[in-house]
Structure 1
Amino acid sequence: MASSSNVHVRICGQEIVKYDLEIKALIQDIRDCPGPQSALTEFNSQVKEKFYMLRLRIQDLEQMAREQDRESERLAMMAETESQRRQMLSNQTAWRKANLACKLSIDNMAKNELLDGGENPSTRQRKATKESLVETSSNITESLMSISRMMAEQVNQSEDTIGSLATSSRTVQETNEEFKSMTGTIHLGRKLILKYNRRELTDKLLIFLALALFFATVLYILKKRLFPFI
């Protein structure tokens, strides 16, 4: 059973590393994304999916840590879980920054295109430019709303993660307190055992002395009765 548990722990750890690397790669793609908005939306959709899978794997690792029989292994796995959660929060922050940078780049490109289009004297070009401006403005508004919702979701997830970290910290602290209590109980038990052993030795000595006195008394009485003149 222990071997099977270790295999599951290793597999879970490997999947966490895999999702972490995939998220980092997607964040880099977002930073380098030249547009259009649909490409950024697709990248964000993939990142959300990877974060969801990563969060599930971290929860699985935490559950397996709680099921460990050895306290040392349980504490080590809980520490690893907290480390992975902190890494996930770092990735979420990088994700938000990459989105803002990409949006700014796309907006600047759109503005430049609009300015270039305005210099064309053709009426058709001006009409196309106006339509492009309206579409770009609509896309920008939608993107900003999407980013705002995404940031709100990330804030809620961060709060949940912080709550989980606080719970794990309390669990570790309670475990340490239990160890201290067990240590005190063991020391007290040892003192009682030593005290009992000393008392047992004293009782044996008293019994031996009582028996010696008893036999001496019996011998004395027998001597007086059998040999009264001696």
Structure 2
Amino acid sequence: MASSAEVHVRICGQEIIKYDLEIKALIQDIRDCPGPQSTLLELNCQVKQKFSKLRLRIQDLEQMAREQDRETDRLAIQAEAESQRKQMLSNQTVWRKANLACKLTIDNMEKDELLCGGENQSTRQRKVTKESLVENSSNITESLMSISRMMAEQVKQTEDTIGMLATSSRTVQETNEEFKNMTGTIHLGRKLILKYNRRELTDKLLIFLAVALFLATVLYILKKRLFPFI
């Protein structure tokens, strides 16, 4: 039976796939959008909402990876999160290209409509056309600014990820240095223990010789006192 963590990871992955498919469908709608600019703006708003939800779910998946106890599970979930993040970046690139192509198509259509109208259009019609062009230009500018802000946010997230990886690398290096220091300390302790054992053996031998010499001296004195003629 799957654990609670595995169920959460699976659900998170399914939601990521769902948002990815919805984003692809909206990008296709942008490619096919015949106008006007207000319709394109509405589609872009929906895409931005889906990207925001997708980004949050990918961050949740990365957090789940960091919480895994087993190294194999952590690496597998990290790889899946990285793959989904790359796919998201690829979708953002396709989205920007679809936007530019759609805006160009709409602009060309509006220019053709203006040219087909001829020079005999009324002043009122020309005024409405100018207002429409101004509105369209404003909408395009707003869309480009939104895309620019999204790219800046993505760059910041990438910098944060790089910083986290650098911190992890430093931690691993520090741990390695600690292990080296511990190995040196253990080696030094072993040498001291061997030296102490040799010194202890030497001390015991000297004590034994001293005791033997003392006993021999006592026996010699007793012999001379008790048996002086022997």
TM-score bin (small chain): 0.7 to 0.9
User: 2:143: which partner in 1?
Assistant: 147
Instruction: State yes or no: 1:177 paired with 2:177.
Output: no
* Counterpart-to-counterpart distance in 2, 1:25 and 1:221: 109
Aligned length: 224
Shift of 1:144: 1.2
* Counterpart-to-counterpart distance in 1, 2:170 and 2:64: 19
User: 1:114: which partner in 2?
Assistant: 114
Of the three residues 161, 166, 173, the one matched with 1:165 is: 161
Q: Aligned runs of 1:177-196 on 2, under 5 Å?
A: 177-196=173-192
Q: Aligned runs of 1:14-25 on 2, under 5 Å?
A: 14-25=14-25
Larger-Rg structure: 2
Q: Aligned runs of 1:11-160 on 2, under 5 Å?
A: 11-68=11-68, 81=81, 84-118=84-118, 130=126, 133-134=129-130, 136-160=132-156
Q: How does the TM-score come out when normalised to structure 1? A: 0.75
Distance change >3 Å, CA 189–CA 101, structure 1 → 2: same
Shift of 1:99: 0.8
Distance change >3 Å, CA 21–CA 203, structure 1 → 2: farther
Shift of 1:174: 1.3
110-119 or 168-177: which moved more? 110-119
Distance change >3 Å, CA 78–CA 184, structure 1 → 2: farther
**Secondary structure of the corresponding residue to residue 34 of structure 2:** coil
Q: How does the TM-score come out when normalised to structure 2? A: 0.75
* Counterpart-to-counterpart distance in 2, 1:189 and 1:70: 30
Shift of 1:83: 5.3
Q: Deviations over 1:88-126 (max 9, x none)?
A: 33332322221111111112222233334449x8x7xx7
Distance change >3 Å, CA 101–CA 224, structure 1 → 2: same
Shift of 1:186: 3.0
> Could you tell me whether the CA contact under 8 Å between 2:41 and 2:143 is conserved in 1?
no
> Could you tell me whether the CA contact under 8 Å between 1:110 and 1:136 is conserved in 2?
no
**Secondary structure of the corresponding residue to residue 35 of structure 2:** coil
> Could you tell me whether the CA contact under 8 Å between 1:85 and 1:161 is conserved in 2?
no
**Secondary structure of the corresponding residue to residue 113 of structure 2:** helix
59-68 or 197-206: which moved more? 59-68
Shift of 1:72: 7.4
* Counterpart-to-counterpart distance in 1, 2:72 and 2:209: 59
Distance change >3 Å, CA 117–CA 68, structure 1 → 2: same
Q: Structure 2: any 5+ residue segments left out of the alignment?
A: none
> Could you tell me whether the CA contact under 8 Å between 1:30 and 1:98 is conserved in 2?
yes
Q: Which amino acid is 2:110 matched to? A: A
**Secondary structure of the corresponding residue to residue 35 of structure 1:** coil
Distance change >3 Å, CA 89–CA 149, structure 1 → 2: same
Identical residues among aligned pairs (%): 49
* Counterpart-to-counterpart distance in 2, 1:192 and 1:141: 77
